[in-house]
Amino acid sequence: MKAATYQKYGTPDVLSISDLPKPEPAPNEILVKIHYTTVTSGDVRLRASDFPAIVWLPARLIFGVFKPKKQVLGHEFSGVIEEVGPDVSKFKVGDEVIGTTTMLPMGSYAEYVKVPESWKSGVIHSRPKSLGFKEAAALPIGSMTALFLLEKAKLSSNKTALIYGASGGVGTAAVQIAKIMAESVSAVCSMRNVEMVRELGASSVMNYVDDEYLTTNERYDVIFDAVGKMKKSSAKQLLKPGGKIVSVNTMTAESDKHIRQIAKWAEEGKITPVIDKEYKLEDVPDAHRYVDTGRKKGNVVIKVFDT
């Protein structure tokens, strides 16, 4: 099968197309023919070994000291089940699914991926029928990260939320989820993304350039830094007494409970992943070049098989 692989850390040029053996599922595993995968900011970080100084050494120990342990990147996918191991009971051949590859030995920049039916770090779930394979591939990571952190901040229907960095993969999901959970949602992004963020459900949208948003008189119960670039002092300035600040710069976890909730909201038409650009598998280096700019709006997807 075709896969985009990398053997050393570096620029997008380290990625190339290779021929790998098609994975053979173990008794508890599922083989998925991938239709779409995504390029997340996590993928480009792993490719470049671009970890914050404080976690650089532990990250290299986990992901490979001299070269990457995992040669196929890609953290989320949509596709169709092609084979199931004899111990698999919840899924069958032909099921259309979405999922993640978190902590598995191989990612989803490939024609096929095998995943356990259930495991601690990642998820697999049936594809919400309201979304095509393209949008569905981009549902798990951004939405589960946003839901995890908004729940951690105890956002509820009598509280107001501010989403900082509302135009990225996590931010666009966070605005839509906060709209469901909160009394009202405000957002911060650059002027060029204001219209998109408003359409996602933010009642007020402010500009982050030159710290313009700090001139607001509003105060919020929950402030979610969805891009990891908000100064703590700025967040504190805009927080109501007793409010909570959460950031993508903290550990999150995936769970079946969260993917079920996300998929349900997607089915109800309450969440739709924003797709910025689409590339082919052989153009994964170009997709990484684009995500490296730090300017993506929502998600970048990779088409693997035609549907």
Residues that bind ligand NAP (CB under 6 A): 40-42, 45, 141, 145, 165, 167-171, 189-190, 192-193, 208, 227-229, 248, 252, 291, 294-297
Residue type at position 170: V
Tokens of 136: 């569905």
Return the number of the residue (8 or 295) whose C-beta is nearest ligand NAP: 295
Q: Which of 294, 247, 254, 296 is nearest to 273 (CA)?
A: 296
Q: Which residues pair with 5 in a beta bridge?
A: 16
Return the number of the residue (212 or 282) whose C-beta is nearest ligand NAP: 212
CA gap 238, 233 in Å, rounded: 9
- Residue 18 class from Cβ within 10 Å (0-12 exposed, 13-18 middle, 19+ buried)? middle
Least distance to ligand NAP, CB of residue 197, Å: 9
| Residue-wise burial string across 213-234, b where 16 or more C-beta atoms lie within 10 A, e elsewhere | beeeeeebbbbbbbbeebeeeb
Return the number of the residue (97 or 248) whose C-beta is nearest ligand NAP: 248
Q: Which of 298, 305, 253, 306 is nearest to 135 (CA)?
A: 298
Return the number of the residue (116 or 298) whose C-beta is nearest ligand NAP: 298
Least distance to ligand NAP, CB of residue 254, Å: 8
Least distance to ligand NAP, CB of residue 72, Å: 19
Least distance to ligand NAP, CB of residue 81, Å: 26
Least distance to ligand NAP, CB of residue 230, Å: 7
The residue whose Cβ lies closest to ligand NAP is: 168
Return the number of the residue (44 or 72) whose C-beta is nearest ligand NAP: 44
